[in-house]
Structures are given as structure tokens and as C-alpha cells.
Structure 1
Amino acid sequence: MADAFSSSSENVIQRQVDVQETRRTPLEELDEFYQIQKTCEFVCQNHFSKVALQFPDELLHDSTAIAAEIERITQAKVFILGDTSYGSCCVDEVAAEHVGADCIVHYGRACLSPSKRLPLMYVFEKASIDLDKCKSAFGELYPDTQARILILYDVRYTHAIENLVGQLCEDYPNVVSSQLVVEGEQCYSHGQSKKEDDEEQPRIHFGRQLSLKSGLSVEDYNMFYIGQDGPTLRNFMMTWNRCSFSSFDPVTSTGRMESVSVTRALMKRFYAIERAKDANVVGILVGTLGVADYLVIIQQLKETIRNAGKKSYVFAMGKLNVPKLANFLEIDIFVLISCPENSLLDSSEFYRPVVTPFEMEVACNRSREWSSEYITDFRHLLPGGQNYVPPPEGQEDGDDTDVSLITGALRSNKLDRNHEFSHSSSLVLRNQTLTVANTNSAASFLATRSWRGLEQKLGETPVEKAVEGRRGIAIAYEEEGG
């Protein structure tokens, strides 16, 4: 424990800060945990001269030793990427391009979203798991040995899945496991437990191939997830919300039936859709620069929002937080473009709701209806995707109205062409209960603000030399007396 003091003159603030000591992996174990030899083969076979190693915060303590060993073996120039602009589960291709890297080696937990700019290799952290306790928990959760069970898992436990499935299949003939299949991935190939005479239908979801028996769908299986509660599990449960889920936490070595009400979560998302329907100005948040086709979905959303009679603005601000988004009060709702695991953002603390591209599509595309189906991967919404729904013909000229479930007022989805470039800041009132969409730009909202931010005042401010500032904190500067 360490004491943190705010001032040298007096202890205005005193608090306890937890400092966790991280144990570095011994040099003789680095190759086993981080696949250094295989990484060097990947670099040498492709003649890469500049290599970017992307680490999450929890693995940075081993980064320098890994980089030095790879440089020694391959003679390539190695760069370490940390503190990624967005989620560490996504490949940070932009940061790698800044250093002119020829390829990226991504370490730790990954969302497995496809990337297209640079050659990529995944190295998953080999997290420890007690297979005997996992098998025991599996037996308690599923006493029926004939049950159809699909095993999903966090990528950090990939190394143990083949052994586990082999043991389970001795008693559970209908158990199948997902297999990691990532576009452009060059890493270990993990086998799948199956009978050679079974006819299977391979399906790929979230970088995982699901080999199901002929005539069966995902909804015909129970889901058993290996890993801790987090965005990966929530993403699976929202996508396959008709399936029964259970999980095994390798950290605590306990299994449980997932009792989280998916129906309640879906109703919260439906409320967000209603907020999106009521919104007039939409902010499109760029939450990734590495997932393939993110520019395509941004353009599609801009057109969909415009056809619904709303204004849209694009924001790129890195990792999101409440103060950042609070700077844009003119925005009624935000839509986040991100990987499937990071798109389900809990926006309860934000001043404005944050929805997913699928939810914005439901709100603005009259051809897409709300159902129990939920889509977290925005690539499925694009033309050619498995869940693409084209807008209805003549949507731009339509004048359909509906009732807001939040305000009780009627809404019009018609885009008023006469006011599309208007700078007026007033609403057009049709009657007491029906108003047309407010198509005013954010610039008109800014004009009504009493404070508009810092002004440059070029040539008006005299040039002065730098002077020493105050020391301490705002309530107790050191030079101020008692």
C-alpha cells in the first residue's frame, strides 16, 4: 500500500492507493507462454523487417524481454505498441502504420475482428485452467449425457480446449466445440472434437467456426462458456439470446447457470431504439480504425440517418468517457462503430444514449423490424452481409408517422428538403401533437450558446514570456498563506 499526499505543505488529501506488483515471466518460460519461436518463424518466412508487437496493459511487463528476444533471433526492428487508441482486443493497425511496420503480432485477449491492412499473427495468453474442476462443473450443470452442448471459450483458454473436449466426448457424444478461424490469422491450429462420419455445417461467428450436425441450428444447442464474465460472454448471450447459457470461471474454478435476464437486456436496448427514433441530431462515434469495413458502415449510417430526416455528425475521439461526450450537448443520441464486444456499451452514466449500428438501423430503416434477433457485428448489416436489409423504395419521399413510446407525440420521418440547409433554429409546428423533424444543424445550436470555447484572437493578444505558475492544488496553493 502507498500513501498519496496532495501537497508538501499540508496533507489536504490523503488516500490509499492499491499498488499491485506484477511478476515478470522467467526468461526460460517466455517461449512457452508467448510463442516466441513461432513468432520468429512468422517474421522470417515473410521477410518482415519492421514488426509491431501489440500488448494489453496487463502483459506490458513482459514486452521488453519478448521484443529483445525477437530482435536477437530475426534481426528485425521491433516496436512495442501499448495504450491503444481504442479497445486492446482490436488490432491497432493505425499505430503500427505510424512506425512503418510490415506486420502486427497481437498478444492477449482478442475480439478476432477481421483486419485487412497488415499481415497479422495472434498470440493468445495461456491462462491457467483446472480441467478436472471444469469437467466436474460441466457434469453438475448438464446431468443429461445426451444433451446437445456447444462449447465457447475465451481465446486465452484455447490451449486447453482440445484436451477438455476429448475427455467430455467420452460421456457426452453430442458435445461440439467452436474452433478459432480468423481471416489472415497465422497461429496455432486448434482441432475440433467430431466424428468423421458426421455431416457438419461450418458457420463462422465472431472468429469462431461452429460445426453443427446436419439439420440443426445454433438454437438447438445449450451453450457452455469457459472464461470470466465480460464483453465476450455478453456478446454471445445477446446474439444467441434464445439459447440457454452456462459458464465456468477458470479463475475461481466454479461453474454456474447464467441467470442474467437477456429479455430485460433486450428491453433496455429497445428503449434505446425509441430514443433513437425521437432523436433529431445523431453523432456517429468512430470506435475502431482496425475492423474491416468500418468506413463502409459509417457511410451507410449517414445515408440511413439522412433518409430518416435526421442530421448526423462523425466524431473520432479514441476511448470514450462521460466528460468527452458531455461536450456535445447538441447531439441527441450517439451511435458507436466498434467491434462486436465493445459495441454493447452501457451508457447509463452518459448524458446521451449510445446505441449500436443495428439499433440505429431499426430506428431509421423502416424495412428492418425489431425482433428477438440481435446483431452486434456491423459487417452483417452491409450489402452482401447475412443480415442486410435494403431501405424501402421511396423512403426519402415518404411521410409515414408513428407515435413515440417515450413522449406520446406523433413523429414524422419525412426529410424536409426545403430546410435541409437552413440555418433557422426554430421548430416547425404543424399542430399541438405533430411536429416535423428538427433538421437544424449543430452550428445553429452552437450560435445560441453563451460560451463557445476558446477564441484564437490572432494578432490581438500580446506576446509574453513564460512565467512560473502556482504549485499545489486549487484549494491550497503553496504560496498562499494559512
Structure 2
Amino acid sequence: MADAFSSSSETVLQRVVDCTVKTNTSPEKLEELYQIKKTCNFISQHQFQKVALQFPDELLVDSITVAAEIENHSNAKTFILGDTSYGSCCVDEVAAEHVGADCIVHYGRACLSPSKRLPLMYVFERRQLDVEKCASAFRELFPDTQSNIIILYDVNYVHATGDLLELLSPEYPNLVASDLVVEGEQCFSHSQIKRKHYDNCLSEQDNSQVICQFGRQFTLNSGSNLTDHSIFYIGQEGATLRNFMMTWNRCSFCSFDPVTMMGRKESMSINRALMKRYYAIERAKDASVVGILVGTLGVADYLTIIQQLKETIGRAGKKSYMFAMGKLNVPKLANFLEIDIFVLIACPENSLLDSGEFFKPVVTPFEMEVACNKNREWSEEYVTDFRHLLPGGQSHVPLADQQEEGDETDVSLITGALRSRCVLNSEPAESSHGSSVVLRNHTLIVASTDSAASFLAGRSWHGLEQKLGETPVVKAVEGRRGIAIAYEEEGTSS
């Protein structure tokens, strides 16, 4: 085998790696977990030639076996997408397009965020759920059988929800079951998932309210509101549950962990979590330079929200810079000290990033709009899906008219300093006293317009400088040899 570091770029790109078929899953369970026959029918029905198989890290051990089975039962060539550019819950359409795939088969847990580039099929990992113990925990958490309860679940347990409803529906007449839905005509899956055709609306038959959000759809009875219901979640603690609790923060939550088989009432204080997010909003109001982090290339309308954020930030008198760096970590963001705050554009489950370890806070597009758009006020509503902030979305708030915006000042709750929100507008306007061109709203009283360049200019260390004509010309001399801990000319210490 040739050394990987001694090969040219052409051979590296064309190298074929021999992989041994190895799996942790028995052959009889392979079909049940990965729906191989249905996947092959999906491929053959649409006559796909190249199929991208996207696996999360925990399922990569079965990826080679699944790919081999699909190729044996269909005429398609498969490509395994292992390390996704961003979160594994999102569809990695960019990686699939790199290999020229005709469609994507997404395995494992999914956030069900809409994607529109390639045909898509979801295959959820069928995790075990003890229905009897789940029902028993449900009865303990909700002793009142007349309670209004909505059942939500992680996508990996959708196969067992039917049996659970058969046990609980006769006892709880006001039980509301949710369905999984996907958006777009190119999304396909098995019978356990539906296609989304509408947003939150009222049914014409019985005036009941249909809620459709985060890939979940459920119908509320006539005359009832979402705040009148409690929510029972099936799944482990994580991004999905946190997203639900932040969005529907006026509902009480209970959960059942299928791994520990324990039910509990969620004890996380939503008010405390919301106040932490409000603190981040105050930091965003104080910021002068904002970094826009591109955390997805697959969720629909991500380019539109980037443009909207740029306009919103600019109208607030702040500078913005865009970064695309894949999966985020603390060292990556620490390289940009000139950025005062970052705003992350990602799917709803990945946008709520705990930035406690980061050098600078990371906020969501909704929080940045609260900080920069004076027409949007902080309230009980919390929006994690950035598509709802776009024109036509259910939470869209247009920017204030530039002519109505003035130089408004307030006091920072963090620093106590006076700050100003003033619009920067360099559009030329003709003066009423003559034909000279003047600038409107050109002067900022308090707000700082420092850019990243001015920040770098103020650093005490500026890097290497050429200093042409100032440095004398000398002959090359022999430098130090060895490693930094012990150069050869330094000798050894006794």
C-alpha cells in the first residue's frame, strides 16, 4: 500500500479503498432497521442511477452492508456520506451533489427541515420502545384522564406510537396524537410519514386548529388553544426536546426516556432559559461587528435569511461579515477577536447553541432581529425556525421605514453606557437649497461604526511588516537547529 502523503493530488482523488463488510447488526434485523426493500423499490420506481446514502456517525458501522444490499437488489450505484458538513440531522445535499447523486436516502434521526435540491427519502432508525412501561409512566404523570395532552416523539419511535395510542386513547378522550410530515414534492418515505401541504390553519369542517411545525402535525379541538394543553414527549433529552420547549414555552412538558424507561416532569426552568437568551440579545444590541455563521447549506431559504440579516444588521448601524466554516467549535470562533457577536443560521434543532464556552456569544436569527429591528419586541414568542422570519412567514415583522427611524438612544443593561440605534444611509438626496448632493443620516452621535479593519489597526501586534528600505541587507546565516525545548547550541543543563 502506497503512503497516502507521498501521492499526488490526482491519485488521492481517484484512489479506491477496499473495505471489509462488517456490521454490528444481524442480517435478520438489517431489513427491519434500514427498510432495504422499500428503499430499493423507491430507487427502481424513479430509475435513479446514483444514490447517496447519508448515515450519522453511530450508524456508519452498518453503512457498507446496507450499501452492498441496495446495490445487489437494484441497478443503482451507491455513495456513502459519512461526515456531514454540519449537523447529521439535516440532509447534506451539497455532499450528494459532489458525487452527482440523483437522490438521497437519509438514515437515522432527522430534524425534517425542508430541502429542495434533490429527491429525498427518510429511513428512521427503529429504536425499541416498551409500550407498556411508557403507558404506565404516562398514567402516573397525568392522573387526570380529562386532561388535554399532546403526544410528541422523536422520529426514531414513530413505529411504536400506534400501539401506545391504542392503550391510552380509551382512557384519555382529550388525547391529541401528532403525525410526522415532510415538506416538498420531492420528499418520499414510508407510510409512517405524510407530506405537508399547509401551515398552521383552521379546518373548514369543525373549525379545529391544525398545527404543523418542526415536521410534526396535530389537530386541536374546536375552541381550544395550544396553551391549554400539556405535552408528553417520547425520546431522550436533547436538541429536539429543547427546541419544542423553547418554542412552546407556555405549555408544561413531561417526557419518557425509552433507554432508562423513566418518565419525568421536565424541570428545566423555561423562564431562566429565556432570560439567558435575553442576555444574549442585550449583547447583540451592544455589538458593533456581527459575524454571520452559515450553519447549513441544505435547509430551504437559507440564502434569503442571510440577505435579510445583512439588511437588518446594516440598518441598525452595525457591520456584518459572513463565515462558512462547517461544524463549529470554540477554537474556530476564537480566531476572530474583532467580532463582537455571532449569529448562527442553522436548522431549528442546531440553532440553539449553548455558547457558554465560546469567547463571544452565538445568537439565533430571531434574537438578532429583536436586537436590531425596533418593530420586533421581546415577548413570550420564541422563534427557532428562521423561515418564519421571512416575508410571508407566520412571525415576519417588517423593518421600520427609514424616514420614520430617528436617532433613538437607550441605556445598555450590561455596560450601563448610552447607545444609539441610527440608520446608516448613504443614498444621495438633492438639497432643497440648491443642486448640491448631500448625505442623509450620515452622522452617528453615540453608535460606533468601527469595522473589523479598524479593530485590527488598534492591535498592539500587527504581524510581519515589510519595512521596505528600513531593514539592512545581510548575508544568510545558519540558524538554530533542534527542537524548541532544547536547541543544539544551548547544550544540556546539569
TM-score by length of 2: 0.82
Residue 254 to residue 324, structure 1, CA distance change in 2 (3 Å): same
Task: Identify if the C-alpha distance between structure 1 residues 92 and 451 changes in structure 2 by more than 3 Å, giving closer, same or farther.
Answer: farther
* Separation in structure 2 between the aligned mates of residue 108 and residue 418 of structure 1, nearest angstrom: 50
Q: Distance in 2 between matches of 1:401 and 1:67?
A: 61
Summarize deviations over 1:367-386 as a string: whole Å, max 9, x none: 00000110000000000000
Contact 1:307 1:396 in 2 (8 A): no
Instruction: Identify the residue that residue 432 of structure 2 maps to in structure 1.
Output: none
The residue type paired with residue 190 of structure 1 is Q
The equivalent of 1:81 in structure 2 is 81
In the TM superposition, 1:316-395 aligns within 5 A as 316-394=324-402
Matching residue of 1:204: 212
1:96 to 1:451, Cα distance in 2 relative to 1, 3 A: farther
**Cα distance change on mapping 1:302 and 1:253 into 2, 3 Å:** same
Q: Distance in 1 between matches of 2:482 and 2:248?
A: 57
Say if 1:449 and 1:129 are closer, same or farther in 2 by CA, change over 3 A: same
Q: Does 1:239 find its partner at 2:241?
A: no
Q: Is the 8 A contact 1:239 1:375 kept in 2?
A: yes
Greater CA deviation, 350-359 or 393-402?
393-402
Pairwise CA RMSD = 2.6
Q: 1:190 matched to which residue of 2? A: 192
Match of 1:112 in 2: 112
Residue number in structure 2 paired with 1:17: none
Are 1:445 and 2:455 counterparts? Answer: yes
- Cα distance between partner residues in 1 of 2:236 and 2:400: 42
Counterpart of 1:146? Answer: 146
Change (3 A) 1:164 1:476: farther
The AA in structure 2 aligned to 1:100 is G
Aligned pairs (5 A) from 1:59-458: 59-184=59-184, 185-190=187-192, 200-394=208-402, 397-417=405-425, 436-451=446-461
Q: What are the ranges of 5 or more consecutive residues in structure 1 without an aligned counterpart?
A: 1-21, 420-429, 458-468
Please give the secondary structure, in 1, of the residue aligned with 2:231. strand
Distance 1:281 1:481, change over 3 A: same
Cα distance per residue 1:18-62 (max 9 Å; x no partner): xxxx96111222111100111111111111100000000000000
Check 1:111–1:395 CA distance in 2 against 1; reply closer, same or farther (3 A cut).
farther
SS state at 1:412 partner: strand
Contact 2:316 2:424 in 1 (8 A): no
Structure 1 residue 69: deviation in Å? 0.8
Aligned partner letter, 1:114: P
The change in CA–CA distance for 1:379 and 1:418 in structure 2 (over 3 A counts) is closer
CA distance in 1 between partners of 2:461 and 2:235 (Å)? 49
- Whole-angstrom distance in 1 between the partners of 2:458 and 2:404: 30
Deviation at 1:188, TM superposition (A): 2.1
8 Å CA contact retained: 2:408, 2:422: yes
CA shift, 1:437, in A, is 1.8
Change (3 A) 1:45 1:227: same
Once the 2 structures are TM-superposed, how far is the Cα of residue 454 of structure 1 from its aligned partner? Answer: 8.2
Q: In structure 2, what is the equivalent of residue 462 of structure 1?
A: none
1:16 matched to which residue of 2? none
Q: Deviations over 1:111-154 (max 9, x none)?
A: 11000111111000000111110000000000001101000000
Task: Tell me the distance in 1 between the aligned counterparts of 2:355 and 2:51.
Answer: 37
Deviation string for 1:62-84 (max 9, x for gaps)? 00000011111111110000111
1 CA distance for matches of 2:282 and 2:161? 42
The answer as to whether partners of 2:181 and 2:193 remain within 8 angstroms in 1 is no
Compared CA separation, residues 296 and 470, structure 1 to 2 (3 A): farther
The one-letter amino acid of 2:72's match is R
Deviation at 1:162, TM superposition (A): 1.2
Offset at residue 449 of structure 1 (A): 3.5
Residues 54 and 396 of structure 1: is their aligned pair in 2 closer, same or farther, counting only changes over 3 Å?
farther
Compute the displacement of 1:201 (Å).
2.8
| SS across alignment from 1:256 | strand
Shift in alpha-carbon separation, 1:271–1:312, aligned structure 2, 3 A: same
- The separation in 2 between residues aligned to 1:454 and 1:55, in whole angstroms, is 45
| SS class of match (1:182) | strand
Equivalent pairs: percent with the same residue? 71
Q: Against the structure 1 CA distance between its residues 417 and 253, is the aligned structure 2 distance closer, same or farther, given a 3 Å change threshold?
A: same
Matched to 1:448, the amino acid is G
Question: Is 176-185 or 58-67 further displaced after alignment?
Answer: 176-185
Match of 1:8 in 2: none
Deviation of 1:415 after TM superposition, in Å, equals 3.1
Q: Distance in 2 between matches of 1:65 and 1:453?
A: 52
Q: Which amino acid aligns with 2:144?
A: D
User: Partner amino acid for 2:277?
Assistant: R
Alpha-carbon distance between aligned partners in 2 of 1:404 and 1:125, rounded to the nearest angstrom: 48
Whether the aligned pair in 1 keeps the contact of 2:315 and 2:424 (CA below 8 Å) is no
User: Are residue 39 (structure 1) and residue 49 (structure 2) matched?
Assistant: no
Q: 1:435 to 1:315 in 2, by over 3 A?
A: same
CA distance in 2, matches of 1:138, 1:168: 9
Could you tell me the TM-score, scaled by structure 1's length? 0.84
8 Å Cα contact 2:212/2:218 also seen in 1: yes
CA distance in 2, matches of 1:233, 1:476: 54
1:18 aligns to what?
none
Shift of residue 396, structure 1, vs aligned partner = 8.1
3-state SS in 1 of match to 2:151: strand
Structure 1 contact 310–415 (Cα < 8 Å) conserved: no
